[in-house]
Chain A
Amino acid sequence: MNAPFAGKQGESAFARLCEELRPDLFRFAFWLARDRQVADDVVQEAMLRAWRSRGSVADTSAVKPWLLTIIRREHARLFERKRFKTVQVDELIDSESPELAAEEEQETMDVRRAIFALEDDYREPLVLQVLMGFTTEQIAGQLGLTQGAVLTRLFRARQKLRRQLGLTTSGESA
Chain B
Amino acid sequence: MKLTNSLVFRLRVLVLVVATLLLVGFTSHSIHAQFLHPKIKSKETTIRTVIVFPAKVNVVRDSMKGPEGMAAESDELSMRVEKMIAEVFSKKKNVTTLFPPSAASSQSDAQPNYNVADFQTKFDDLLPKIMKKRSDVKTGRFTMGDEVLNLNLEKTTDAIVFIRGEGKKLTGGKTAFTMLVGGMPAYLRLEIGIVDARTGEVLLYADPIFTGDPTKAVDRLRKALEKGLKKLPAAQPTP
Whether chain B is bound by chain A comes out as: no
Interface residues of B (CB under 8 A from A): none
Interface residues of A (CB under 8 A from B): none
